């Protein structure tokens, strides 16, 4: 459907809107990576989405590999999700009381995952922030272990050496987070069990929890080495600390139960606490944290650790979420994985054809391309060795040809159940020119 192979992509309306936006909003956006700073060009203002496609204000259509940064597992505007949401909205948008859809969503999460009890919140940031508070409240300890390159939302103590927009924009840390707030954060290299053991040898009795992305997707996709998550669970348990698995991105996305299905469930272990977001909101602001019942019972009103939210468990958001999850059947994940594998194959063929060194890394249905490297990337330092100029050239060419990729080399690509043959044809037609553009950028 891309109708502009001659470089004549109209962007006037997006440019006008961006100018307007910059007058009234910092950087013209409400989340930093949307501003295209790492790749250049005009951010596209979208007006609608349908299946695998997005349409912008200038009428350009794009095959979408961002999927709202993960939530749109079924594609945009899935008819059954839209119908359920319309019915829910017509009954009222928020009651500030318990309601049935939030129970149904919690049941669905408990049925699929390792968690026994779940508290709904409104963003992934809130989920990880609350999980850390709970871990500190339960253990009576302050220190937190995290890994360089993992992003857990903009939670003050977790912004140390974070991935996602923090690395995309080259922000080393963040002004506004006092040193004493990150003083209890121990940042370790990812996939390094020895470093974790050394930290526990030194601070064991003071560490409340280890938090990690179940499979990091915010420094590009860096899968856990076999046994790494199991080792974290074991080491935490040996020292009376909790193991928090952040499945905000991977939950109900990497596989039906989340990434845990690919390691913990097979190996017979479970995290103490898990955070969720993105897919479980069906495109609405909704997230959760959960875990063992005895731990979750520390939360108010059952226990003393305070946590609350005016719009937590919102009836419209939870209706969208539960409808999405019910449509996400085992067969859907089988198809999604096949689509993801096909996309990786097409991208790999084009990059090899153009002579662009790269490694494609994956966890379940999620993957990303590591640009300009020849060996698998196992940690943040490795991810930072990518050739971001090659990615920027590739990105711009793809965008001009109607393919919308995450505008950063440090982000995961997302496919949806709606990525059909038409979407993949547009992708494969765009790839050769984009791969050549990346090759030229590498030579510069």
Stretch in the footprint of ligand PLP (CB under 6 A) among 74-82, 98-106, 175-183, 246-254 = 246-254
From the list 51, 120, 129, 96, the residue with the least C-alpha distance to 322 is: 120
Confirm or reject binding of residue 223 to ligand PLP (CB under 6 A): no
Nearer to ligand PLP, 139 or 218 (CB): 218
Beta carbons within 8 Å of 430's beta carbon, 6+ residues apart = 2, 397, 398, 401, 402, 403
Confirm whether 263 is a catalytic residue: no
Confirm or reject binding of residue 248 to ligand PLP (CB under 6 A): yes
- Distance in Å, CB of 216 to ligand PLP, minimum: 8
Confirm or reject binding of residue 68 to ligand PLP (CB under 6 A): no
Rounded to whole angstroms, the Cα distance separating 287 from 238 reads: 29
- Distance in Å, CB of 299 to ligand PLP, minimum: 19
Site for ligand PLP in 159-198 (CB under 6 A): 164
Contact by Cβ (8 Å): 356, 390: yes
- Distance in Å, CB of 338 to ligand PLP, minimum: 24
Tell me the DSSP string of 243-277. Answer: EEEEETTTTTTTSTT-GGGGTHHHHT---SEEEE-
Applying CB under 6 A, among 112, 152, 358, 436 the residue interacting with ligand PLP is 152
Nearer to ligand PLP, 62 or 69 (CB): 69
Neighbours of 89 (CB within 10 A): 12
Applying CB under 6 A, among 56, 58, 102, 246 the residue interacting with ligand PLP is 246
Nearer to ligand PLP, 257 or 287 (CB): 287
What is the DSSP pairing of strand 53-56 with strand 46-50? antiparallel
Applying CB under 6 A, among 14, 68, 114, 128 the residue interacting with ligand PLP is 128
From the list 150, 125, 44, the residue with the least C-alpha distance to 405 is: 44
Contact by Cβ (8 Å): 134, 177: no
Confirm or reject binding of residue 249 to ligand PLP (CB under 6 A): yes
Rounded to whole angstroms, the Cα distance separating 29 from 22 reads: 8
Confirm or reject binding of residue 410 to ligand PLP (CB under 6 A): no
Residue nearest ligand PLP, CB atom distance: 124
Confirm whether 246 is a catalytic residue: yes
Rounded to whole angstroms, the Cα distance separating 209 from 145 reads: 6
- Catalytic residue from among 56, 58, 64, 246: 246
Confirm or reject binding of residue 213 to ligand PLP (CB under 6 A): yes
Instruction: State the number of CA atoms in the 13 A half-sphere of 50 facing the CB.
Output: 5
Contact by Cβ (8 Å): 238, 269: no
The encoded tokens of residue 159 equal 């912004």
Stretch in the footprint of ligand PLP (CB under 6 A) among 82-90, 93-101, 119-127, 232-240 = 119-127
Rounded to whole angstroms, the Cα distance separating 296 from 302 reads: 8
Stretch in the footprint of ligand PLP (CB under 6 A) among 32-40, 79-87, 120-128, 396-404 = 120-128
Confirm or reject binding of residue 149 to ligand PLP (CB under 6 A): no
Nearer to ligand PLP, 124 or 313 (CB): 124
Contact by Cβ (8 Å): 295, 138: yes
Confirm or reject binding of residue 144 to ligand PLP (CB under 6 A): no
- Catalytic residue from among 58, 62, 151, 263: 151
- Distance in Å, CB of 152 to ligand PLP, minimum: 5
Please say whether the dihedral angle defined by the alpha carbons of residues 36, 250, 163 and 140, taken in this order, is positive or negative: positive
Confirm or reject binding of residue 218 to ligand PLP (CB under 6 A): yes
- Distance in Å, CB of 27 to ligand PLP, minimum: 16
Which H or E run contains 166?
helix 165-168
- Distance in Å, CB of 339 to ligand PLP, minimum: 21
- Mask of contacts with ligand PLP, 274-313, x by CB under 6 A? ---x---------x--------------------------
Secondary structure E strands in 153-228: 185-188, 207-213
Beta carbons within 8 Å of 301's beta carbon, 6+ residues apart = none
**Which are the catalytic amino acids?**
151, 246, 278
Point out which residues bind ligand PLP (CB under 6 A): 69, 123-125, 128, 151-153, 164, 213, 218, 246, 248-249, 277, 287
């Amino acid at each position: 459907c891309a109708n502009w192979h001659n470089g004549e992509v109209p962007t006037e309306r997006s440019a006008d809107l961006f100018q307007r936006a910059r007058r009234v909003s910092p950087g013209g956006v409400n989340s930093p990576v949307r501003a295209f700073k790492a790749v250049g060009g005009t951010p596209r203002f979208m007006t609608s989405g349908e299946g695998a496609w997005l349409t912008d204000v200038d009428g350009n259509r794009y095959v979408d590999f961002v999927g709202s940064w993960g939530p749109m597992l079924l594609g945009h505007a899935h008819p059954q999700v839209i119908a359920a949401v319309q019915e829910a909205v017509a009954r009222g948008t928020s009651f500030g009381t318990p309601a049935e859809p939030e129970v149904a969503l919690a049941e669905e999460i408990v049925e699929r995952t390792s968690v026994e009890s779940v508290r709904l919140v409104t963003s992934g940031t809130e989920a990880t922030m609350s999980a850390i508070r709970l871990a500190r409240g339960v253990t009576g300890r302050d220190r937190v272990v995290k890994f360089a390159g993992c992003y857990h939302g903009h939670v003050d103590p977790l912004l140390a050496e974070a991935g996602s927009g923090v690395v995309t924009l080259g922000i080393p840390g963040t002004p506004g987070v006092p040193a004493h707030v990150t003083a209890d954060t121990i940042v370790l290299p990812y996939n390094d069990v020895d470093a974790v053991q050394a930290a526990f040898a030194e601070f064991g009795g003071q560490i409340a929890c280890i938090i990690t992305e179940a499979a990091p997707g915010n420094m590009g996709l860096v899968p856990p080495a076999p046994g790494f998550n199991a080792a974290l669970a074991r080491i935490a348990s040996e020292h009376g600390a909790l193991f928090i698995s952040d499945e905000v991105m991977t939950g109900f996305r990497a596989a039906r139960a989340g990434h845990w299905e690919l390691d913990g469930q097979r190996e017979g272990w479970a995290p103490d606490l898990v955070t969720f977001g993105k897919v479980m909101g069906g495109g609405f602001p909704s997230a959760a944290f959960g875990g063992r019942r005895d731990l979750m019972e520390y939360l108010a009103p059952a226990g003393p650790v305070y946590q609350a939210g005016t719009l937590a468990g919102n009836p419209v958001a939870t209706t969208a979420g539960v409808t999405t999850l019910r449509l996400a059947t085992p067969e859907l994940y089988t198809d999604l994985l096949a689509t993801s594998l096909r996309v990786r194959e097409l991208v790999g063929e084009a990059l090899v054809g153009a002579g662009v060194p790269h490694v494609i890394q994956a966890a379940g249905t999620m993957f990303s391309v590591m640009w300009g490297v020849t060996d698998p990337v196992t940690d943040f330092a490795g991810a930072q060795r990518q050739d971001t100029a090659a990615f920027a050239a590739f990105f711009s060419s793809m965008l001009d040809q109607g393919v919308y990729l995450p505008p950063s080399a440090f982000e995961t690509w997302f496919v949806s159940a709606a990525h059909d043959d038409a979407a993949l044809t547009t992708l494969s037609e765009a790839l050769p020119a984009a791969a050549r553009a990346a090759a030229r950028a590498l030579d510069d």
